[in-house]
Structure formats: structure tokens, C-alpha cells
Structure 1
Amino acid sequence: MKANQPAASPVLVIAAFAVVWVVWGSTYFFIQVAIHGFPPMLMGAVRFLTAGILMLVWCFIKGDKIWSRKDIITSGLSGFLMLFIGMGIVIWAERSLPSAMVAIMVSTNPIWFVVLDKDNWKVNLKSKSTISGLVLGFGGVFLLFGEAIFKSSQGAFSREQLVGLLLLLIGPIAWCSGSLVSKKRGSTAPARLNTAWQMVIAGILYVFAGAIHGETGAFHPTEIPLKAWLAVSYLIVFGSIIGFSAYVWLLSVRPATQVSTHSYVNPVIAVLLGTLFGSEHISILQLIGLFVILFSVLLVNLTKYSFKKSKAVEKILV
């Protein structure tokens, strides 16, 4: 562990990884359920504003220093990149694409961590496995695009879906940029407070986006089906408050490349939920693309993983 990373209980680290791996994998399915009742941008506003305000109240009760200009600016920037741009693209893309397909595209996150982490280029790009992983990962993405373009030529893939796929190339870049901002700029505030401000600021931006898109005038809460409200409630409590808090906290105590390993599990969970409960169809080529991307992520991070268990972890496992 690096000197600038605080020590953390191995039990909490394992629990946080489990939450980020499994819970976040399920959010793709619940986002699609939610946007079948909510206008997409206003769904994001309801989700993140509610979760952010609840967390700010909790931080106030815990005695945190709520108003810190430097911390709010850092949280605002990372929240803009991760939750508004990165997650906003996911929400928008799921209007026309299966949730499992979106999760597969987003699984390239760890690849972009390596590409964007300029401070560690000298180390990362010396590894043959990392270079091979980058090439293979982008090959997997092109494989998915090739299938989409072929289907489009056959009339089985709409222009809106192609635009969604293109936007999903930008989403992981924004997410990883925001994650690196959160990690490198640092903060004296607890992770829960940084998370709260990230969500509040992103939620406000979603309100403006919804107004610009004309969603506010057509929004009638009483007309939203119960299952959409339940899906948003799940996203607020588990996806945002619990899941995102665990993610931000992990960034403060573990290397970003290790935290990004949630990308191995998230798309698998998303594919299972989408096919079993969402009646989504995933083609053989899409599954091949998924495994190619996940294998590339393994290669990219191969040199970062330590196969030596710490004494603390060994005690937990015994």
C-alpha cells in the first residue's frame, strides 16, 4: 500500500469490494426498469439528489465540516464526470440498448484507467501484458461495433442504438477521469461527505438537463408505475448511498486499478439479470466480446495484483 493511502480494516475492504462488485452489477437492470416509468434525466435527478441530500444530513449528524470550498470543488468536478457524464450516458443509452449490452461496453473502465493515468505510464506501459490487454480490449470493443454496424445494415439495429454505442465509448472515459480526480486531488473530508456532494451536484445538473430536454413539463409523479419507483428506491439506497460510498472509500484506501476490478463482475451480473428477468437477448458474438474485454482487463491489471496474502487477510480467511 502506498504511503499516502490510509490503513483500512481488511474486513471492511472485502465487504466494500463485494458491494461494488455485486450491487453495481444489478444497477444496470434496475436503471432500465426505472426509465420505463421515469424520464431519463429526471430519474437521475431523483436518484442522486435524494441520495446526496440524505447523505449530507447524515454527515451533519456525524459532525462533519459540511462547507469546505476546496472539497466541494473537487467533489463537484468528480461528480460531474462520473455521475453526470459517465452515468448519464449509461441512463441515456439504456433507452434503446439492452442493459446487458450497456454493461459490456462499460466493462472497459479498467483499460481507460491505464490510458488516462499519465503519472504511471512509465510503469504501466513497460509491461507486455498491459500492452497486450489494451490492444485486445479495444479489439473487443470493435468486435461489438462491427456486429452493430452489420445489424444496422440489415435493418435490425437502429440509428439511435448506434449513437448509444458511440456515447458508451465516452462514458467510461468520463468515469475514469472523475475517479482519478477524486483520488489524486485528495480531500481532508470523510469519503461519505465527498460522496454526498458528488451526488448532490450531479443531481442538480440532471435537473437542468431534464429541463433542457423538456422532461419537467411532462413529469407527473402520480403516473409513474410502482415498479419504477421501487427500482429508483433500490438505486438510491443500494446503488448510490451504499454502492457509491463503498467505491469512493475504496479509492481512498486501495489503488485505482484494484478498485476497478468491479468491471469483471458487474457485466456478468448485468447479463444474468437482463436475460433472466428482463427478457433481453445477448448474441454469441456479444458474449465473445464480453469475454475478450474481461480477459483484456485481466492482462492490463496483471502486474498490479499481488498474489501474496497479507497476514490480516490470512487471519480472516482461516
Structure 2
Amino acid sequence: MPATANAPLRRSAPLKPLPGLGTPSRAAVGLAFAAIYLIWGSTYLAALVALETLPPYLMMAARLLVAGSLLAALARWRHPTASLRAGWTRNAASGVLILGLGSSSTVWAEQVLPSSLAAILATTVPLWLAVLDWPRWARYRREKLRLFGLLLGGLGVVGLFGKQLAAPAVLSPGYWLAVGAIVAGSLCTAAGSLLARYRAAPGPPLANAAVQLLAAGLFCGLVSAGAGEWTHFTLARVSFRSGWAVAYLVVFGSGIAYLAYLWLLQVRPPAVVGTYAYVNPVVAVLLGAGLAHEAITLPQVLALAIILLGVWLINRPTASPGPAETQP
């Protein structure tokens, strides 16, 4: 892994896994992808339920601070001699970009936009990753099928919800502001993800993730206070449904899936890891059919097939590793 984002890549330098984790197995990589594909796909619906009785940034602050505190305690138990202060500036920057500006923008926008449309707009993440990850431009240009997979995945998502994108029935106040917030947040997510990859902080992964979550939680708390969300808020207004949704987001969305995401950034190309944004809308549709009894049409089934084909093209193993990369 390069020491800095500006360091030249050497053909002989393999991509190193996170400290202490050894060489990743295909099973481990598969489980990690399943976590970010399935869990993060369900968080759009969970966030929508949480927003029923909680303001967005206050909800995000509580979610991230609780998850960060739990991971910090776990990191202290697993690594008693490790310090959370090691590389805290890089961890804080990554956490604020990915979660404080990225994920929180999507949650804020869900006050106006349906969760499915929010998931669509978040598919710009892998495109931003490919654009900003300049050390891999030469490799991406050589691998035409991966580029085609990125394009195919985006087209499949547009086809899945093309009707809503082309002609929304009613544009709520702040509609375009919400759209812009998600696109800008996706850019921040990509930038923070690349920072976490190329400028990874020293120390155990659990400690790094804990600092990122805590920093993002403090950031969201400051935004919440500045926006006046505390003014009329009382715990008595929080519903049972919203409480369980926040608990799910803490344990699975900000705990298990986020750890899997940070680990994958170390062992797979960023644009490949970013394909979670293509699968998340698929999960949203399946959850709608299973939980809300929404019908899935033939065009939607075709769009799902196109998205999955695009993801397969991006993730397919290559015959020989490129510069600074080894396939798990």
C-alpha cells in the first residue's frame, strides 16, 4: 500500500492487507462484500424509519457516537496497548468525509426523497472512485470489461428507476437541493475512501474505525446543534420503530458493514469496492417486495439482471495482477 497518495506505484509492490489480518481468503472477501451489499442496502429503509421521529443529524450523531464507542471498547479489549490517538487526524478526516458528509447527506435528503431514489443517486460513488483514483487510471484503461461493467451497472440502475428519475410525479420543496446533497455526499464518500486506502492510519483496524465513527459523530452533533435540531426535541417523541431502526443502524450499518468496507478498501480496488452502490438499490427493491408487498415488474427484473452483470464484470478475477495489486 503506498505511503502517500502521491507516491509512485511500483510494479513489484503487492497490495498489503490490514495489519494482523494476513492474506485475505476468497471466502472472507465474499462475506465482506455481502455485508456492504446487503446490510447497506437495507440501511436506506432503516434510516427512513428512524427519520419518522428523529431529526437527521441528531440521529446520525447518536448512531455514530454509540457505534464508535462500542468499537473503541472492543479495540481496547482486543489491543490493550493500542492508542486511539495514533493517526487520529487521518482517521478523523476519513470519517468526516465518508460518514459526516457522505452518509449524512443521504440521510438528510431522505426527508424529501424516497429511499429508492436516494439509493440511485448514491450510485455515483464508484464513478467518483474511478475518477479520483488516479494511480489506477492506466489499469482501468487497459481493462475494458471493468469499465464496461461500471457503465453497465449505472445504466441498469437508471433503468430500474428510470420512470421516477425522468418524471417525478410531484417535486417536493427542496427536491433539487436534496439531489445535489447526495451527489456531493457521494463525492465526499469517494474522497474519504481513497484517503483511508492510500493514507491509512497506523494501528489496529478496530481502533481506526472507532476514531472515524467518533469523529463523524461529533461532526454530525455540531451540525445538529447549528441547525437547531435540539430545540424542540425530546426523547419521549422517539417511537419504538425509530429506536429499533437506530439500533440496527448502529450494530449492522455502522459496525459490521463499515468494518467490512474499510477492510475491503485495503484488499480490492476502490472502484470495485464502490460497486455496493449498484447493489443497494437492488436490495431496496427486494425489501419492498418482501416487506411492503410491492410488485416487481418485468422491466425491473431485467434491470436487476443488468446491474448484477455489471457487478460481475467489475469483480471478475483477472489473469494477472496489475501494478501494486494482487488478486485475493
TM-score under structure 2 normalisation? 0.80
Larger mean Cα displacement after TM superposition, 102-111 or 129-138: 129-138
Tell me whether 1:218 sits opposite 2:260 in the alignment: no
In structure 1, the residue matched to 2:221 is 207
Larger mean Cα displacement after TM superposition, 272-281 or 240-249: 272-281
* Contact persistence 1:79–1:198 (CA under 8 A): yes
Tell me whether 1:88 sits opposite 2:100 in the alignment: no
In structure 2, the residue matched to 1:5 is 16
Residue 18 and residue 64 in structure 1: after superposition, are their counterparts in 2 closer, same or farther (change >3 A)? farther
In structure 2, the residue matched to 1:101 is 117
Q: How does 1:239-278 map to 2 (within 5 A)?
A: 239-277=253-291
* Contact persistence 1:99–1:274 (CA under 8 A): no
Cα deviation code 1:131-151 (max 9, x no counterpart): 555666776788899866763
Q: How does 1:116-195 map to 2 (within 5 A)?
A: 116-129=132-145, 132=148, 151=167, 156-195=170-209
In structure 2, the residue matched to 1:61 is 77
Cα deviation code 1:49-74 (max 9, x no counterpart): 000011111212221522434x2111
Larger mean Cα displacement after TM superposition, 46-55 or 118-127: 118-127
Residue 287 and residue 199 in structure 1: after superposition, are their counterparts in 2 closer, same or farther (change >3 A)? farther
Residue 230 and residue 181 in structure 1: after superposition, are their counterparts in 2 closer, same or farther (change >3 A)? same
Tell me whether 1:233 sits opposite 2:250 in the alignment: no
CA distance in 2, matches of 1:273, 1:209: 31
CA distance in 2, matches of 1:213, 1:285: 42
The code of the aligned residue for 1:89 comes to S
CA distance in 1, matches of 2:183, 2:299: 19
CA distance in 1, matches of 2:304, 2:128: 16
* Contact persistence 1:53–1:196 (CA under 8 A): yes
Q: Matched residue of 2:191: which SS?
A: helix
* Contact persistence 2:127–2:271 (CA under 8 A): no
Is the helix fraction higher in 1 or 2?
A: 1
The code of the aligned residue for 1:260 comes to G
Cα deviation code 1:248-269 (max 9, x no counterpart): 1222233323323323432211
Residue 61 and residue 98 in structure 1: after superposition, are their counterparts in 2 closer, same or farther (change >3 A)? same
CA distance in 2, matches of 1:288, 1:168: 26
User: Any gaps of 5 or more consecutive residues in structure 1?
Assistant: 314-318
* Contact persistence 1:98–1:274 (CA under 8 A): no
Report the alpha carbon displacement of residue 172 of structure 1 after superposing the two structures with TM.
1.8
CA distance in 1, matches of 2:159, 2:307: 10
In structure 1, the residue matched to 2:6 is none
Cα deviation code 1:155-210 (max 9, x no counterpart): 62224223222222222211111111000012321111111011000000111111
Larger mean Cα displacement after TM superposition, 136-145 or 213-222: 136-145
TM-score under structure 1 normalisation? 0.82
In structure 2, the residue matched to 1:35 is 51
Residue 280 and residue 81 in structure 1: after superposition, are their counterparts in 2 closer, same or farther (change >3 A)? farther
The code of the aligned residue for 1:237 comes to V
Larger mean Cα displacement after TM superposition, 8-17 or 195-204: 8-17
Identity %: 35
CA distance in 1, matches of 2:294, 2:56: 20
The count of residues paired between Structure 1 and Structure 2 equals: 304
The code of the aligned residue for 1:232 comes to V
